[in-house]
Amino acid sequence: MSDSPNWGLHLGRWFHVQVRVHATFVAVAVFAVFLGSAYREDGAAFGLLAFGILFASVLAHELGHAAAAARLGGNGERVLLWPLGGFQAPEVPREPQPELIATLAGPAVNLALVLATAPLLVAAELNVLALLNPLAPTQLLSGTWSEVATKLLFWCNWVLLLANLLPAFPFDGGRILRVLLWPALDYRLAGLVTVRISKLVALGLCLLAWVSRDWETAAAIPVWVPVLLVAGIVFFSAQHEGVRLVSYDFSQGYTSLERPEAPRRPALTVRRWLESRRELRRRRQQVQELEEERQVDGILMRLHEQGLESLSPKERALLDRVSARFRNRQQN
């Protein structure tokens, strides 16, 4: 979201990209030190290691977005990092294909890091399957420094990949869903549908937090706590995006304020979506009818000059179809 909250810590420019860190990242750093201390005596250092790897993974994710946006002629010179990605989407030409490519670039970086570290874990005879649980990995901080670093690199990027495939804002999956809905709907309507789905995802995460309240885990805090926090972020991000889309018409200027008593757009409903689909089909039918009527002019000229035998079966069917259409219009 280009107009998401912009408060955070400025870390300067990294690879020509201005990097800012959201306050939630600071909370994660404190939590990482606390969680590491609960595991082992030197756990605080391991917690800082985990935070550093998470920060590097998120930064790589966002730099992937920025690099793709730059190649597409857009602008990815600013990023706002939070523990599971970025709050600001890169600015690219407002078309489905550029937005889809720029959005997929971030998860692609995490997938590449997962695939690169998995063979290292296998070669070190470490249990990769134990790290596939994104909520409660086992033996994450056990082993030597190099083994822990490799496992953290794998697990952090695995979590980032899975989280950003959720079809909800502010994750990349929400933007991907909007792009997939864009051809059938318009940009604004596709965004509003995604907002509704994001809120359903937030509700689903709340239910997951409720179900997982009794899960046994070796972590210092219950599983439901981070799940509930993510649910809150998803809900309020969707709310923020919905407000932005409601005021989307003002992005071209404020001339609409001069219109007296501008009608208020109705809320998005299934009925309204069906009406938009019917309107789209009606317009396509009008275009097809105009094209057929244009072709009829040439068919009638050849019919007059060369007779009915000069027409192909397809041209005769077209002539009959257009003739029937004209008769119906006269009767109505």
pTM, entire model: 0.69
pLDDT of residue 1: 39
pLDDT of residue 3: 40
pLDDT lower than 50: segments of the chain: 1-6, 250-268
Tokens of 189: 């309507």
How far apart (Å, rounded) are the C-alpha atoms in residues 308 and 323?
A: 15
Q: Which amino acid is at 42?
A: D
pLDDT of residue 39: 62
Query: At what angle are helices 313-331 and 270-306 packed, to 10 degrees?
Result: 120
Peptide bond into 170 cis (omega under 30): yes
3-state secondary structure string across the chain = CCCCCCCCEEEEEECCEEEEECHHHHHHHHHHHHHHHHHCCCHHHHHHHHHHHHHHHHHHHHHHHHHHHHHCCCECCEEEEECCEECCCCECCCCHHHHHHHHHHHHHHHHHHHHHHHHHHHHCCCCCHHHCCCCCCCCCCCCCHHHHHHHHHHHHHHHHHHHCCCCCCCCHHHHHHHHHHCCCCCHHHHHHHHHHHHHHHHHHHHHHHHHHHHCCCCCCCCCHHHHHHHHHHHHHHHHHHHHHHHCHHHHHCCHHHHCCCCCCCCCCCHHHHHHHHHHHHHHHHHHHHHHHHHHHHHHHHHHHHHCHHHCCHHHHHHHHHHHHHHHHHHHC
Residues 102 and 92 sit within 8 Å (Cβ to Cβ): yes
Give the tens place of pLDDT for each residue, 277-327: 777 778 777 777 777 777 777 777 777 777 777 777 877 787 788 788 777
pLDDT of residue 138: 82
How far apart (Å, rounded) are the C-alpha atoms in residues 330 and 154?
A: 71
pLDDT of residue 35: 66
pLDDT of residue 172: 94
